[in-house]
Amino acid sequence: MFNCPACGAQTPDNLDFTKLMVCEHCSNILFIEDEAVKNAGLRSAQVDAPSIFTLGRHYRYRNMNFETIGRLQFDYGDGLWEEWWVMTDAGDGKWISVDEGDIAIESALENIKDLPGCKYLKPGEKINLLKQNLLVTEVDSAECIAVSGQLPERIMPGEKHDYVHLSGKHNILYTLECFEGQKKLYKGVWIDAFDIEPL
């Protein structure tokens, strides 16, 4: 257990998968590294927007139970979307994105080589990725505007990145993110909000 270097409040016990957190007492953004807590020197404030999720609450999606432990808000020009970092009862971390009623559950794919650049893809284009034929459905950029709770990576308000949504069969979704010379790929599925049950 650590104390917030800004206000002295105790942080949660379980920070095993946490790289960044927001102190729930003073809203300062904290970095967790090498079993120490460092103050990032910034505060975060959420945009007041309705959501189907609440931070720190438990939910069920079909046979998966999970707790929402972190939240990001992004501005993509035409609106806002949320990314929720959740931990399942099995101990797996997943991302759940919510954008105007569209909901997807995704997991990061590690060590994927030869990913295309976000700026080189166009909506309506078909590409072959991981031996699958995928349709480029969205190419855009977004800015992180707020963070809260605990997150598995450092994402700060003001950071921008490009992203691409790729759709496959059976509601499969891939998201490619490009930022600061890095590329990350996530795989998930579009789901129905009515299949999510608060516990």
Q: What is the pLDDT of residues 135-159, one digit of tens each?
A: 999 999 999 988 888 888 888 888 8
In percent, the amount of the chain with pLDDT more than 70 equals 82
Q: 38 and 67 in one domain?
A: no
Q: Could you tell me the CATH number of the domain that includes residue 9?
A: 2.20.28
Q: 108 and 11 in one domain?
A: no
Number of domains in the chain: 2
Higher-scoring residue by pLDDT: 11, 98 = 98
Q: 157 and 116 in one domain?
A: yes
Q: 188 and 91 in one domain?
A: yes
At residue 119, φ and ψ (nearest 5 deg) are: -75, -10
Confidence of residue 14 (pLDDT cuts 50, 70, 90): low
Q: 152 and 100 in one domain?
A: yes
pTM, entire model? 0.80
Least confident of 2-6, 42-46, 135-139: 42-46
* Structural domain span for residue 143: 58-192
Tell me the mean pLDDT in the region 54-67: 95
